[in-house]
Amino acid sequence: MTGNEVVYRNEVSHRFARAELLRRWRAGDVSRDEVCDADFLLLTAAEYHGRPAGRPCPVCGSEDLRIVQWIHGEQLGRMAGTARSDEEIARIVAAGKDATVHTVEVCPRCRWNHLLTAVTATTS
């Protein structure tokens, strides 16, 4: 143990809300434009900081579905609201700053996006 292991606490899953939104989209209750609304910042972050989701986009079937981690928190200063890799989050946490990590899936092709989980990253 180095003492700088990242510990994830208080995970909140948004998978139910995601499934419910997809169900409503399939039923025709919400339009594709409403569920596929990723903005330029999110699409760019997905391209440069995202990793492959390993599963197809639930809306368009694209294999390019990506996972992006956004960090938030009062201790982060200018880093708050930016996309970060696991390694960067580990460094930030090791420096003594707690971060709330929002894991978001983003499809660059159809602009589908949804929050998957929110979790607090801290040191043990």
Cβ-based nearer residue to Zn ion, 44 or 122: 44
Provide, rounded to whole angstroms, the least separation between the CB of residue 111 and Zn ion.
Answer: 7
CB < 8 Å & 24+ apart, contacts of 56-59: 57/107, 57/109, 57/110, 57/112, 58/22, 58/112, 59/22, 59/25, 59/32, 59/35, 59/107, 59/110, 59/112
Give the interface size with Zn ion as a residue count (CB under 5 A): 8
Contacting Zn ion (CB under 5 A), which of 22, 30, 60, 76? 60
Cβ-based nearer residue to Zn ion, 22 or 76: 22
Report residue 38 CA to chain centroid gap: 12
Is 110 a binding residue for Zn ion by CB under 5 A? The answer is: yes
Cβ-based nearer residue to Zn ion, 57 or 83: 57
87: which residues sit within 8 A by CB, 6+ positions away? Answer: none
Residues 112/60, Cβ–Cβ less than 8 Å: yes
Contacting Zn ion (CB under 5 A), which of 38, 42, 59, 71? 59
Binding letters toward Zn ion, positions 28-57, x by CB under 5 A: -----------------------------x
Which of 58, 65, 62, 25 has the alpha carbon at shortest distance from 43?
A: 65
For Zn ion, the binding residues (CB under 5 A) are 57, 59-60, 62, 107, 109-110, 112
